Each structure stands twice: as C-alpha cells, then as structure tokens.
Amino acid sequence: MQNDNPSLQLIFTAACIIIILAGIKAAADIITPLLLALFIAIACSPLIKKMIDYKVPQWLAITLLLCFIFTLFSVFATLVGASVTEFTASVPQYKLLLSEKVGWLTTLTEKYNISALLPRKRILESLDPNTLMNFMSNMLGQLSGMLSNIFVLFLIVVFMLLEIPLAKQKLTYLVSNQPRGEQIQLKSDVYRVIDSVIRYLSIKTLVSILTGASIYIILKLLNIQYAILWASVAFLLNYIPNIGSIIAAIPVVIQAFILNGSVEGILVIVAYFLVNTIFGNVVEPKVMGKHLGLSTLVVFISLIFWGWLLGMVGMFLSVPLTVATKIALEANPLTERFAYLLGNGEK
C-alpha cells in the first residue's frame, strides 16, 4: 500500500541511502579501482576518438595510447621508486638530525624567555621525530602502494576503452522503452557528466604538471634533496582539492629545515605558497571558469565525504564524483533543489 506521508518517505529514502553507502564502503576495495579506471578511460576517450577519425583502427589507437602512457609511467615510477627507497633508508639519520633541531629550538626559547609561549613539552609533542618521520614514511608508502596496483588498473582501462563503441548502443537500449523526451534528457545528462569529467581532468592534469615542474625547478635551484620525489608528490596531490598542496609541502619543508637550514626551509615555504597560489588560485579558476558549478564549501565537504567512503582514490576523484551527483540530481524534478544546494548559487 502506497503511503503519501512525506515524513515516512523521507525516512525511507534516508534509510536506503545509508544502506547503499554502507555497501559501497564495504566494497571499497573493488569499487575504487573500477572508478579510477572509468575516469581514466573517460579522459582518454577523446584521444582515441581523434585517432579513429584519422582512420587509425581502434585496437591500434588504444595500443599506441597505452604504450605511450605506460612508457611515461615506467620512467616516472623508476625515478620516484629510487628516491622513495633512498629516503626510507635515510629515515633513522633524519630522526637524529630532527632531534638535534628540536633541542636547539627549545634552548632558543629558554634563552630569549619565550618558553611561556612555547613550552618545552609542547615543542617536543608537536615536533616529535618519530611522529613526523612516520607521517612522511606512511605518505610515501601509500604513494608506492598506488603505483604498484597500476598494472591491474591498466588492464581494466583497456577493456573499458574497448567497450566505448558499444556504450552508446547499450545506453540507447537502456532507454528504448521510455518516452522520447526522457530518452533525450537521459542521454544529454550522461554526455554532460562525461564532458564535465573530461574537462576537469584535462585542466587539472595540465595544472598539476605545471605545478610539479615548477616545484622541481625551484627545489633544484635551492639544492634540496629528492627534488624529483617531492615534485612527483606535488603533482599527484594537486588532484586533491584545497588540502592536497598543503600535505605535499609538509615533508619537503621538514626536510629542508633538517638538512639545508632555516633560510632554505623558509624559501621552500614561500616557493610552495607562490606556486600553488599562482596555479591553484589564478590559472586554474581562470581556465576552468564556472563550468563545474560547485561551491567552494561543497568541494571541501565532498573531499572529506568521498575520502571517508572510498579512501585516497575518493579524495582524488571527489570533484568529478560530486559533479556527476549534481547532474544526476538536476535530472529529476524531485531532487533538483538538492542539486541547487551543491551549486555555486547560479541557476
């Protein structure tokens, strides 16, 4: 029996959403590589289509693109892997050097009578060598773990790219029993999601490359060790909105203060601030425009939500996943108001 009580409908809908989210979180190990592969396949599809337009067979176009990506990744993984190994081996030495720096800092606070503002106990807790080194090692360990699963990811991407020609046929069959107006609307919404993802990933990749290259040049000029490693970390974490660039800066700043000195450490902080301000707050918004239509608050909340639900991959894909959710909500008159809440205030 149908119940038109709005409160009961709301409770039922909320319960369904909670059950679905619990299922997604439980199956995150399976869902995350599939989602990541899907977005990579969507981003690569325009290049495949362009080669097919030039009469290149589909299988050859996919092979050429994947060989190019695989070659770049192999060079990248070799350089980063060597730096990660060398850095991990040096962690015990860094702990000793950091302990010396912490001792020097506490002596300085006592010498200039500022120990009341910066108590020795608080300094030791905030700059605990074991905590800081473990943070850096864990972050690099997660990076290595992501790189080690790339081969499985490539296989999924290949099969998804092979399915592209059938995607439109399957979509047409899916909506064949619906009225013509709804068919057109559904196809339009799907294409909007795909176009938004392609645009976002293309621009974000370009900005991330520029960010990583700039960081590499600056670190080399300042004679900071493992420049290729920290530039790679800056490139990857730039995909995480708002906090990615901050997380990327923490380990290299600590290293600069330990190995190079206070002046170099301050210069690294300034360099990261300028690079991320120029590319993240000037170049990217100007190129991206208001195409995504998401508010800044929603972007930050989505980062937390998708990171909780899907882990590190969810943080990388938080923006495209939220855009897809917003477009899906806009497609239904009953949920259109919720899509407006996710937007930037423009209808």
State whether residue 212 is helix, strand or coil.
helix
Helix axis angle, 296-310 relative to 6-26, nearest 10°? 60
Look up tokens 């046929």; give the residue: 169
Average pLDDT rounded to a whole number, residues 210-237: 90
- HEC states along 89-155? HCHHHHHHHHHHHHHHHHHHHHHCCCCCCCCHHHHHHHCCHHHHHHHHHHHHHHHHHHHHCHHHHHH
What does the alpha-carbon distance between residue 293 and residue 343 come to, in Å, rounded to a whole number? Answer: 5
pLDDT in the model for residue 265? 86
pLDDT in the model for residue 330? 79
pLDDT in tens, 308-325: 998 888 888 888 888 888
pLDDT in the model for residue 269? 92
pLDDT in tens, 83-120: 767 776 776 776 677 666 666 666 666 666 655 555 55
pLDDT in the model for residue 216? 93
pLDDT in the model for residue 268? 92
Q: Is the pLDDT of residue 338 over 70?
A: yes
CB 309 within 8 A of CB 293: no
Q: Is the pLDDT of residue 266 over 80?
A: yes
Q: Is the pLDDT of residue 233 over 80?
A: yes
Sign of the C-alpha dihedral computed for residues 236, 242, 245 and 248 taken in this order:
negative
pLDDT in the model for residue 52? 84
For 294, phi then psi, to 5°, come to -110, 140
pLDDT in the model for residue 1? 45
Lowest mean per-residue pLDDT among 21-25, 33-37, 62-66, 94-98:
94-98
State whether residue 163 is helix, strand or coil.
coil
**DSSP state letters, 288-346:** HTTSS-B-HHHHHHHHHHHHHHHTHHHHHTHHHHHHHHHHHHHTSTTTHHHHHHHB-S-
Task: Quote the pTM value.
Answer: 0.76
